[in-house]
Chains A and B, each alone.
Chain A
């Protein structure tokens, strides 16, 4: 045993690499024991496939059967013996049962390394597929009716003589719904006659099994619990295998599906009691309870009323607004009571943040999307006129400009006496903050729209060809990462990782030092939005109209919020809220932990820039030409 494990190669992560023939599925047309002609594969289990086959002993009619295959791969004789015993147990058990919700067994036989069980073929779909394929929630009456039928078959199994049979694996995928809409219980692989005092081993499907089953106690009350779990899944469409065990109480049915009656919720809740003695004390008692619900709620299903809570939108009034001559596509900057914002009327505006009064404007020769930066009482910003402009913060008087060879959409960053920004001339420029002279340029193969991130003593930025670079302060490349499409999104950093997104529809987490992808999160569509981080969450908008919240450690989605058009704006977090604009013209305020809408504010046109929040006031511009200030 030991030797085999040490010396024999374990097939590289492929199934049964030693003998590829051994795992092959039977092909259509193959006839087993001169009787069952395989038609197609209808299911795949852990041990082999399930086929639909035609029984050729009835040549004049088409009699279909299900042939369940078990391939014995294990080379160890003890394991093989165990498997064959399980298989024969299932066959013998099934052969003694007669119930409309249990498939009839016709035959079983073994052939080379495979054993076969021939069963009644159930025309239909399993409940898991029914749940998944439904457009909305299943009807309460329908679920009650299936629940009653399942109680009935459990009652039959539990009343089996001489020993009760515990099904032990009640879950939607083991419940077939046949052509008449009735249930049939399938897969008796681990159904087990109950022998008092003998502990079973730990088997069961996580999510549906009750707490005591993990201890090895499988009783009738375990089946009651698993049926409760199955009904809970059917009513809420929340798969318990994706939730921590025993958390049904944290997901009350009516909070997810408000159309369900309180009576049905109570029945399911009782079946799911943590302590076995507090559940229905048998399938019969649960059946009675379900029958009572069916009587009370009547036969007619209540019409589904999709009652979505309407958000507060009328109540939000701006503190002030200020009108420019053209669209505002960028993001403002706030400094010492003044708000600075660029506009497509080619001006940079300075407004009084308290009342929105005009202070000064500075004209350039191109539209300004670049976000201004304040550094030592000067404003640094770029324009489509190909220049970096530096003007006095109080006066708006020009100090100096710096020319690149194409339009600039990137926003400047300052660190260690350098200004860094990208340009459509394909270069990342490093300019001396005092002298305005170039220190170095780093040439890439395409325009740079993203704003560089300075962190870990490195400079990070993406390009329109989808490259993402990390440079040191001398302009030497440390590493490069390649996305499939443009990286317009500006990176953000936390700890030893940088986060950025691409028009290829992926949010990337990259190792800050080496550029390895730590994780990738798929968005519905591409994005130009830049991610923001708060606590363990990372937020980003995308062209599919959603705002996403993703766990930064596990890359799992926490929530998503749908707006009515694409989200190019970048999220901003302030206190416990997230603020983000959408091309649908609204500024949204969401609870950042849950994604619940707090309020939204409608402007006359798309919002592509990002908000800035200070002192409980949100500042942002809209392509309706206005700058707004709202209470956060």
Chain B
């Protein structure tokens, strides 16, 4: 316990003003040099991960095919605790039957697969380190969900954008057209994921102009989806958590309706992550709410 408080508030010895009375003249002894060096050594603040979510059926659908998972915690390490978070958005395929079955299964299986591997770090004293890398953990979770959907709900499909936050890193697994963004306090936004959609692919190939993209009739056609196709390749990558800044994950019910400028404005105007999530959902509904809306916001403070 004492150690814990020491860590939390910093070592007392270091913060105490050095005794100016006992003035010693040069040369310094090794011990003095050491103590000067250690007083200059960096201090480690505990950084905390916080997150909030928002969800709505929208104005034009009668059921919700989006699913989300958001959990925030810390993992105790040997010398300090590291933030741990798992954030998943899945958007069941509208044109298919059982879209909600697929998105629901995707979120639970990806969540379950990942949490199962970190479970002993959170609630037990693990006897053995995880052998898989974070990217391998993410990839196998997505493949599990893919196979499950193919088997249990054939014909259906879902997007998935999952972010595993550990320490200062985000490992993202992504299939489909839900999106992850980094939003910076200076108003910049950066899309971290690339849509696996027909419209995006055509745009990349230069077959559609910006205007045509906006008005493309098949905007919701995916070229990759969980549960579709026998070989699925998920985009898996790791990036530093935006600091200072926010991680946002959302379904196309938000990004397809509310533009990035408005998202930034909402972020700037909101006093909390919680309010920001609610305001984004409200903005999407105010703009017609044509689809289910799901948003997760996360931030590292401290």
Q: Which residues of B contact A479 (CB under 8 A)?
A: 77-79
Q: Does B33 contact A511, Cβ atoms closer than 8 Å? A: no
Q: Does B148 contact A511, Cβ atoms closer than 8 Å? A: no
Choose one: A206, A246, A416, A518; the contact of B134 (CB below 8 Å).
Answer: A518
| A506 CB to nearest B CB, Å | 9
Q: Which residues of B contact A83 (CB under 8 A)?
A: 154
Q: Does B168 contact A519, Cβ atoms closer than 8 Å? A: no
Within 8 A of A (CB), among B185-228: 198, 201-202, 204-205, 207, 218, 221-224, 228
Stretch at the interface among B99-107, B256-264, B268-276, B289-297: B99-107
- The size bracket of the interface on A is 35 or more
The verdict on A317 contacting chain B, using a C-beta distance below 8 Å, is no
Q: Does A202 contact B41, Cβ atoms closer than 8 Å? A: no
Q: Does A514 contact B167, Cβ atoms closer than 8 Å? A: yes
Nearest A-chain residue to B230, judged by Cβ: A46
Q: Does A416 contact B82, Cβ atoms closer than 8 Å? A: no
Q: Which residues of B contact A496 (CB under 8 A)?
A: 167-169, 240-241
Q: Does A74 contact B223, Cβ atoms closer than 8 Å? A: no
Choose one: A13, A439, A554; the contact of B236 (CB below 8 Å).
Answer: A554
Q: In the complex the two chains form, what is the Cα distance from A520 to B171 in whole Å?
A: 13
Q: Which residues of A contact B198 (CB under 8 A)?
A: 211, 214-215
Q: Does A435 contact B30, Cβ atoms closer than 8 Å? A: yes
Q: Which residues of A contact B229 (CB under 8 A)?
A: 204-206
The verdict on B72 contacting chain A, using a C-beta distance below 8 Å, is no
Interface of A is mostly: loop
The verdict on A495 contacting chain B, using a C-beta distance below 8 Å, is yes
Q: In the complex the two chains form, what is the Cα distance from A78 to B47 in whole Å?
A: 50
Q: In the complex the two chains form, what is the Cα distance from A495 to B205 in whole Å?
A: 32
The verdict on B109 contacting chain A, using a C-beta distance below 8 Å, is yes
Q: Which residues of B contact A214 (CB under 8 A)?
A: 198, 218, 221, 223
Interface of B is mostly: mixed
Given contacts A215-B198, A439-B37, A509-B238, contact A516 B155 (CB under 8 A): no
Number of B residues near A (Cβ < 8 Å) is 74
Q: Does B37 contact A473, Cβ atoms closer than 8 Å? A: yes
Q: Does A10 contact B207, Cβ atoms closer than 8 Å? A: no
Q: Which residues of B contact A511 (CB under 8 A)?
A: 134, 166-169
Q: Does B166 contact A439, Cβ atoms closer than 8 Å? A: no
Q: Which residues of A contact B109 (CB under 8 A)?
A: 10, 13
Given contacts A46-B154, A202-B228, contact A13 B112 (CB under 8 A): yes
Q: Which residues of A contact B204 (CB under 8 A)?
A: 244
Q: In the complex the two chains form, what is the Cα distance from A469 to B154 in whole Å?
A: 48
Q: Does A47 contact B223, Cβ atoms closer than 8 Å? A: no
Q: Does B34 contact A5, Cβ atoms closer than 8 Å? A: no
Q: In the complex the two chains form, what is the Cα distance from A422 to B174 in whole Å?
A: 41
Nearest A-chain residue to B40, judged by Cβ: A416
Q: Does B82 contact A514, Cβ atoms closer than 8 Å? A: yes
6 closest cross-chain pairs (CB), A and B? A13-B144, A517-B133, A553-B237, A519-B135, A496-B168, A514-B167
Q: A12-B113, A16-B152, A204-B229 are in contact. List 8 more A-B contacts (CB 8 A).
A: A10-B148, A13-B112, A13-B140, A47-B154, A82-B154, A206-B223, A435-B30, A514-B75
Interface residues, chain A, CB within 8 Å of chain B? Answer: 1-2, 5, 10-13, 15-16, 46-47, 73-74, 76, 78-79, 82-83, 201-206, 211, 214-216, 241-242, 244-247, 274, 416-418, 432, 435, 437, 439-440, 457, 472-474, 476-480, 482, 495-497, 508-509, 511-514, 516-520, 553-555
